[in-house]
């Protein structure tokens, strides 16, 4: 018989199936917030009359969609 606590065993098994999940979630949150702040800055520049390349705006919008989506799919499914 194993002398390992069943709760600890369950936690270790879960961690081995999805390593670095906490770090990934922190990165997705950081990237998402950076994308949204960048979008706010770009929109304020557009509102002030500064010309921006359309490609830059599309990349920023894409980042604002992709990173929160990755955070959503990385959530606990319990």
Phi, psi of 48 (to 5 degrees): -80, -10
More confident residue, 66 or 9: 66
Please give the structure tokens belonging to residue 65: 């969609």
Helix (H, G, I), strand (E, B) or coil at 65: helix
pLDDT tens column, 14-73: 888 878 888 999 999 999 999 999 999 999 999 999 998 999 999 999 999 999 999 999
Alpha carbons 38 and 61: distance in angstroms, whole number: 9
Please give the structure tokens belonging to residue 40: 């706010």
67 burial (CB, 10 Å; 0-12 / 13-18 / 19+) is buried
Give the pLDDT confidence score for residue 1 in this predicted structure.
53
More confident residue, 62 or 5: 62
């Amino acid at each position: 018989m194993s002398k390992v606590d069943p709760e600890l065993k369950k936690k270790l098994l879960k961690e081995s199936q999805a390593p670095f999940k906490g770090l990934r979630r922190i990165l997705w949150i950081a990237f998402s917030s950076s994308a949204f702040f960048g979008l706010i800055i770009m929109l304020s520049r557009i509102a002030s009359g500064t010309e921006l390349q359309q490609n830059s705006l599309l990349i920023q919008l894409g980042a604002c969609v992709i990173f929160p989506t990755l955070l959503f799919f990385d959530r606990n499914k319990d």
